[in-house]
Amino acid sequence: MTKPVLIKICGNTSVEDALMAERAGANYLGVIVEHAPSPRQVDLAQAQRIRAAVSLPVVAVTVNLPLERLLHIHEVMQPAAFQLHGDESPELVRQLKTHGITVWGVASGDTAFVRQRALDLSEAGADVIQVDARHESANGTIYGGTGQISDWQLARELVERGLRINLAGGLTPENVAEAINTVQPWMVDVVSGVEARKGVKDGEKVRKFIENAALIPSSSA
């Protein structure tokens, strides 16, 4: 059975952008919480304001935060899920699951690494696996939001293995339909592909992305 893929608009920094994405038809929103290297990060107070302003589920995207801080963020913000976007261990996934928290793991990097990490995170109990791209630079690792396209064939392989895949990495209004046709993911996830500038959404790009994604059914949705 096929139905429209779910759509997550991530990297929201303002209530206005979040409400715009909600009106445009997004299914999930994402906020990057307490990750200073990202121009799209917000503090916990702003993340809470965004979550309170919308009716959609809001995912807290975090990078390499310790368990204690994640539990505090969960208590204050009450996100729908944590998206662990750094190098977090499968053990951290297990610990969060013992607290009844929904966890989305992220696998990014070269093909062999992504395949094994996706399987390890899934085995640890991650509810969703996001396949994404990452960029290594002289200033360190950039986790997502790079505009680089992830490995669609590997993502399709993981779908066929039965993993619930959120496809990210270089998606735009122009290529999202092809991506869904190729991968058949549970969800597609976009940041830079719908921005006017880093941290600020382009309303027309958001609407076009959602419109184009909604046209293509997915067997995993």
- Is the Cβ–Cβ distance between 40 and 57 less than 8 Å? no
Overall residue count recorded for the chain in this entry = 221
CA distance linking residue 75 with residue 73, whole number of Å: 5
Q: Which pLDDT tens digit goes with each residue over 116-139? A: 999 999 999 999 999 998 644 444
Q: Which helix (H) or strand (E) holds 4?
A: strand 3-4
Q: 126: closest CA among 77, 88, 70, 169?
A: 88
Q: 61: closest CA among 159, 188, 189?
A: 189
- pLDDT for res 140: 46
CA distance linking residue 55 with residue 65, whole number of Å: 26
CA distance linking residue 18 with residue 26, whole number of Å: 9
Above 60 in pLDDT, residue 144?
A: no
Which bin fits 199, alpha (ψ -120 to 50), beta or left (φ > 0)?
Answer: left
- pLDDT for res 62: 98
**Average pLDDT value over all residues in the chain:** 93
- pLDDT for res 137: 45
Q: Which pLDDT tens digit goes with each residue over 156-189? A: 999 999 999 999 999 999 999 999 999 999 999 9
Residues catalogued as catalytic: 10, 132
Q: Which pLDDT tens digit goes with each residue over 37-62? A: 999 999 999 999 999 999 999 999 99
Give the chain's domains with CATH numbers.
Answer: 3-218 (3.20.20.70)
CA distance linking residue 88 with residue 78, whole number of Å: 20
- pLDDT for res 133: 85
